[in-house]
Amino acid sequence: MVLKWSYVTRFIFDKPQKNGTVLNRYTLKKCLGVGAYGMIYLCTDNRSGKKYVVKQLRPSKGKKQREWERFKDEAELLRKIDHHAIPALMDEFRIENQYYYVMEYVDGDNIEDLLFFQNQMFTELEALIMMKQLLSIISYLHQHNIFHTDIRPPNVIVKQEKVHLIDFGLANRIDQDNEKAVSNYRQDDYYDFGQMILFLMYSKFKGKKSKKRTWLEELSLHPETVILLKKLLGISEPYTNVNEIKKDLNIAMEALKEPKRV
């Protein structure tokens, strides 16, 4: 078996730090995950006793100036965000050649866990109501020229029926003068948003998925929901702004609330 060098370096240089390790004033409780660029830990602030999340740039990545500058840019981007559904940046520090920043901790379940591990199911209306919250977050970001570009189930957390968006490692802040880049990143977020809706819609799908059939054939959705998804996924003329999405999303929700005729 041939191992890629990236996997070898991950095991040799990028081992998660041990539980109980103290970084500045934070004690690591457990590793929450290892991504392409960072390692995420649940920690406790030794001064306040509060729980936070520490993100560490993977040591193998930190050897390259471009990578740690990108990591610092991610922290700086988070510093500019002020939204109740996005974890705030609390602290950042460097220990020798290791780079870290600290964020608020959202004690909830991500959509991936809800769907694939807890087998939670959502009706069409429940899915749209939940995604309306996510759309509000996307709207805030786009108003501030920020594009997440990685909106997917592991990065959307639900806590007491409230939606939160995390992981801005691939996010970009684009000058509005760069119209082409803005348009491309905007459509990336819209497409991901449409995919998120589909993930939730498939939670109640009982049939066997087939590569030969599309979601249009497998799912029985309200025509207004289909219109919404087709535009988000670029099957029909795509949306040009969030307000257009909000309008169609509200239309679909109201249509689903109407009593069915017998």
Distance of CA 92 to the CA centre of its chain: 21
Distance of CA 249 to the CA centre of its chain: 20
| β partners of residue 28 | 43
193 near 138, Cβ under 8 Å? yes
Query: Alpha helices, DSSP H only, in the chain?
Result: 5-13, 59-62, 65-80, 111-116, 124-143, 179-201, 215-218, 223-232, 242-257
Reply yes or no on whether 150 is catalytic. Answer: yes
CA dihedral in degrees (3, 168, 138, 192; nearest 10)?
0
- List of residues 6+ apart from 74 with CB closer than 8 A: 101, 168, 169, 171
Pick the catalytic residue from 14, 150, 167, 192. 150
- List of residues 6+ apart from 191 with CB closer than 8 A: 232, 233, 234
E runs forming strands in 161-237:
162-165, 172-173
Residues designated catalytic: 150
